[in-house]
Each structure stands twice: as C-alpha cells, then as structure tokens.
Amino acid sequence: MNWLLKTEPNEYSYADLEKENTAVWDGVKNALALKNMRTMLPGEKAFIYHTGKERRIIGVAEILSKAYPDPKLNDTKRVVIDVRAVRQLSEPITLKQIKQDERFAGFDLLRLPRLSIVPVLPQHWQCLLELTANRI
C-alpha cells in the first residue's frame, strides 16, 4: 500500500523534510489516521500533500519504520513513523486537478477531505504518477 500524508506547509513543508532527509512524522490525532499509520510498513511510499492555501501534492517520501509510540507523549494510542524524503515533484499536482479527473472517483483524499493520512490504492498511485510524468 502507498499513502498520502498531509502537512501544513508553514508548520512543516516538504522542503523541511528534504533538509532533514529523515524525520519523525508526528502530530496525528485522528483515530482513523492513527489506524492508517499502524498499518504502514517500511519501504512503502507516500505522497506529501501541502494543505491550507496550497492544496497540492508536492513530493514523495518513503516510510522507514513501523508505527511506534510517540516518544514525546505519554500516550500509547498516539503513534509516529519515520519517513525519508525521496524527491520533490517537478510540478505539484493540485487538488483541483485531482477533482477534475474522473479516475479519482472514490479516492479517500476526495471522500474524506479532513483525514490527514489516507491510503492510496495502486490505481490512484499510478494515475498520480502519470499526472506528474505528463508535466516533466
């Protein structure tokens, strides 16, 4: 499975991840998003999506660890993962582009817009890669 991880770019952007190369992905509070984190496996990929005014996929990261308790909190329900920057997209994919493409019907990014971590089915992953390839 591959994923889409949302972040507020003025708090933590893909550029920040690139500078650090690896980071702990934390701050997730939603129960379904945390459940999604617990199913992630090392080696899986994730699109990094900037929320707020940007609303676009900006880069690709790799999941480096299984979920583990957030070391900053005393709460076993709150987990984190380790991620690594892979590459920034040459042209971001906007939410508007995704909404206008019928191939994304049923995509959790559109179906559950407030969820911060969503699975990306193989067919949606491939369609997103095609969108980036068409603009290189």
Q: With 70 as the cut, is the pLDDT of residue 135 above it?
A: no
Which amino acid type is present at position 105?
A
pTM score, whole prediction = 0.95
Asked if 45 contacts 131 with a C-beta cutoff of 8 angstroms, the reply is no
pLDDT tens track for 5-39: 999 999 999 999 999 999 999 999 999 999 999 99
Contact 39, 51 (CB under 8 A): no
102/105 Cα distance (integer angstroms): 6
Across the range 53-64, mean pLDDT stands at: 97
pLDDT at 134: 59
The whole-number pLDDT of residue 136 equals: 41
CATH class of the domain comprising 2-133:
alpha beta
Rounded to an integer, the average pLDDT of 64-91 is 95
When pLDDT is cut at 50, 70 and 90, the band that residue 132 belongs to is: confident
Give the model confidence (pLDDT) of 83-130 as tens digits. 999 999 988 999 999 999 999 999 999 999 999 999 999 999 999 999
Burial class (CB in 10 A: 0-12, 13-18, 19+), 46: buried
**Backbone phi, then psi, for 124, in 5-degree steps?**
-70, -40
